[in-house]
Structure 1
């Protein structure tokens, strides 16, 4: 008998200035039991040069879900987590569940101001920032994960539009509008944890998972454990849909 999470489509949503290739190690670790997609958002990867907007990003996710049959579990990190939150709030009928990683900071006030300043510098010197980003990825991550982060190209020039779009969204309202199961996953050392309690309280069906000793990106290091967590979330979602008992549990 196949595991009860089998065949649930998974859509992975990438972070800022990278592309869908960042998910290749995790997709390989999950294996072939799920249909999977990792679309490029506007301004990234094969869509580099397009203006980024949150509605455009949500539409890219919705199109990927539709290509996999119309309903899916979303998995997003950082910018991808914010986009996944917005997609779940906008299209709750298409989102079976949501694993939102490293995206529980409200993008306002001094915290947002720091990122706006960095984004302006990145847009003025995009190739230099791309080189610095590639260096940082290779310092923080094992080689397969670092190579995946840069494989689709880097897009630092898109940063100001991305920061403005995230700043204008209301992630708490998106969570409140979504009735399905949500896993908020943060590294223990992630600076994007700062409002995780408010995000959890906004969920109608949420739980908070802390990955010990991990930062914002280093949660990608242990692909085996992360793949297990995604498969366990898929098992929970599928069990609820079919009224069975899940074989795994997301810790």
Structure 2
């Protein structure tokens, strides 16, 4: 079975994925990115975040599907660009916006949160509890919140060219958005950038709402993983099993 590496969103931690991983029967690991969770206090950079993902993939055998939400999706794109041989497929959720007109707003909000991170963390916790069912909200909060790292994250994401990253990656990409997610604003541009991409919309869900039904999300990710499972060769000629078609990266399409 192809393993999965899960990447969390901004200011939260790997624990946000616990309810989803609990519904999976395949190997899976959620990673704390720099400045978050068990790595709180560390500076955030895209290079260091990608290195953390690469190390997690290596721990799972050297090739895995990468699935990330929001910041995690952007880091997943950078990982696929830098380590295409390690990323068997990319599930990028809630991360198809690159609005330069909104960048100033994000920078202002990030600086404001970083001035009083304790207060910003309390506001974030309140928001998670209002937006999500209790188990999902608890998972978002369990690993701690890190609003102090927001300015570094905003600058790192703004400096990375996601469309170039997607165009460079030859493997399968699934862009998954809630139909009510404002971060789907540029999803068609992101889809066109993919060499082998598909857009999936989850009806009635917002940016965090995709986490509200962890069982359903687990089934979706598991189904996408099955599309890049390695095939077992049969016979002396090394032919793949019937119905196991190869994609551009040499794995099932």
Asked whether the two chains share a fold, i.e. TM above 0.5, the reply is: yes
1:170 maps to 161
Q: What is the rounded CA distance, in whole Å, between the counterparts of 2:241 and 2:191 in structure 1?
A: 25
Question: Could you tell me how far 1:240 is from its partner in structure 2?
Answer: 6.6
2:202 maps to 211
Q: Check if 1:17 corresponds to 2:27.
A: no
1:26 alignment partner, one of 20, 30, 40: 20
Q: What is the rounded CA distance, in whole Å, between the counterparts of 1:233 and 1:98 in structure 2?
A: 9
2:71 alignment partner, one of 49, 74, 79: 79
Q: Check if 1:47 corresponds to 2:39.
A: yes
**Contact persistence 1:239–1:245 (CA under 8 A):** no
TM-score, length basis structure 2? 0.91
Q: What is the rounded CA distance, in whole Å, between the counterparts of 1:227 and 1:123 in structure 2?
A: 33
The 5 Å alignment of 1:1-251 reads 7-30=1-24, 33-106=25-98, 108-238=99-229, 245=243
1:249 maps to none
Structure 1 gaps, min length 5 = 1-6, 247-251
Question: Could you tell me how far 1:244 is from its partner in structure 2?
Answer: 5.0
4+ runs deviating over 2 angstroms: 239-246
Instruction: Specify which structure has the higher proportion of helix.
Output: 1
Question: How many residues in Structure 1 have an aligned counterpart in Structure 2?
Answer: 237
Question: Could you tell me how far 1:113 is from its partner in structure 2?
Answer: 1.4
2:235 maps to none
Alignment RMSD (CA, Å): 1.3
- The DSSP-based 3-state class of the residue aligned with 2:6 is strand
Question: Could you tell me how far 1:243 is from its partner in structure 2?
Answer: 5.3
- 1:83-110 CA distances to partner (integer Å, 9 max, x unpaired)? 001000110000000100000001x422
Structure 2 gaps, min length 5 = 233-239, 245-253
**Contact persistence 1:13–1:84 (CA under 8 A):** yes
- 1:161-199 CA distances to partner (integer Å, 9 max, x unpaired)? 000000000000110010000100000010101100000
Q: What is the rounded CA distance, in whole Å, between the counterparts of 1:9 and 1:42 in structure 2?
A: 22
Question: Could you tell me how far 1:245 is from its partner in structure 2?
Answer: 3.9
Q: What is the rounded CA distance, in whole Å, between the counterparts of 2:13 and 2:243 in structure 1?
A: 35
Question: Could you tell me how far 1:222 is from its partner in structure 2?
Answer: 1.2
